[in-house]
Amino acid sequence: MNKLVEIALKEYGTRAVQGENSNPEVIKYFHGTGFDWVKNDDTPWCAAFLNWILKEAGIAGTNSLLARSFLAFGEHVEVPEIGDIVVLWRVAKESIYGHAGLFIRESGNSLFLLSGNQDEEVKIKAYPKWQLLDIRRVNI
């Protein structure tokens, strides 16, 4: 199994907490990657989670909380393999908003990603292929 996917699966089911409290497991993704100023899990955390996974695998990440920072990370590939980083757009294709996660599989017009902050949880979720910005491969 891909090392990044293996690390991410150990976190499967970790959820942000609604309300005043925050899940310390989510906060560790921020603090473990140098974002000690983040004090709650209301801050978007897909990039923090992905950077944390990379750090756990011994790889320096993007040092950014923007999902789109992964557009300049690793190598572009046309055909995804399990564990490749997929970067999607949100709001508008040209906006700064995005989502990043690990490729698991594709089916029809959907890409299935394992990532953090998917409905405020670490889980596998399907996204439409038309949201795809890039697929990036990290050699481990």
pLDDT of amino acid 17: 93
Is residue 139's pLDDT more than 90?
no
Q: Calculate the alpha carbon distances from 51 to 68, 74, 93 in Å.
A: 12, 13, 23
Q: pTM score > 0.85 for this model?
A: yes
Alpha carbon distance 14, 30 (integer Å): 14
Residue 78: predicted pLDDT: 95
Q: Is the pLDDT of residue 80 over 80?
A: yes
Q: What is the rounded CA–CA span in Å between residue 123 and residue 138? A: 21
* Confidence class for position 3, pLDDT limits 50, 70, 90: very high
Q: How far apart are CA 60 and CA 64, in angstroms?
A: 11
Domains identified in the chain and CATH numbers: 3-137 (3.90.1720.10)
Q: How does pLDDT run across 97-109, given as a tens digit for each residue? A: 999 999 999 999 9
Tokens of 15: 């959820």
**pLDDT, tens digit (0-9, with 9 covering 90-100), for 35-73:** 999 999 999 999 999 999 999 999 999 999 999 999 999
Beta bridge partners of 137: 75
Instruction: Tell me what pLDDT residue 19 has.
Output: 75
Residue pair 29/7 in contact (Cβ under 8 Å)? The answer is no
Average pLDDT of the residues in 113-123: 97
